[in-house]
Amino acid sequence: MKNIVILISGGGSNMAAIVRAAEQERWAARFNARVAAVISNKPDAAGLALARAAGIATAVVPHKDFASREDFDAALAQAIDAHAPSLVVLAGFMRILTPGFVTRYAGRLLNIHPSLLPAFPGLHTHQRAIEAGCKVAGLTVHQVTVELDHGPILAQAVVPVLPDDTAASLAERVLVHEHRVYPQAIAAWLVETK
């Protein structure tokens, strides 16, 4: 069985979309894959309750408990490895990972970013797109590499920027597409690694 471990920091809406897709599309039967665990760096992350309600193992590795990024990443890797992951999925996980961590999961670490990479890596993507006068924005699913938001692109979706958009309204519309595209990209990854 290919175990998928999802990392979250907040509400877990992308995680929930992935869990729904795994169930509705029968990933266990089709790809011999399942969401094995959800891990958060924040004890109060609402997504943990959603995962528990779905019968998925959860864990918390609070980043504030560690003196360095390297120490946190080592503890996080230990929690992930307890589930023998074939794939590690970042779904709103708001931590920059160390090169050592990224290298450990090279080729099997995915992220979703709320812009059409390579445009607008990092934070505040929607506001930056609006300020730049972009006519379109969107999202990118990519493999994680040591360079922030620059890994190989697996999928993208384009969302128009409307004349009256705010960062919040654009983010809301992009998120709808994230919930569709991220599970599709994971399913495609599972097919390719069959």
Active-site residue numbers?
A: 113
Q: In angstroms, what CA-CA distances link 121 with 1, 38, 149, 152, 180?
A: 34, 25, 6, 14, 21
Bridge partners (DSSP) listed for residue 157: 139
At 54, list the tokens: 């779905």
Helix, strand, or coil (residue 186): helix
Phi then psi for residue 110, to 5 deg, are: -115, 150
Residue 178 C-alpha from the chain's centroid: 10
Angstrom distance (rounded) from CA 17 to CA 179: 5
Helices 167-192 and 13-24, packing angle to 10 deg: 40
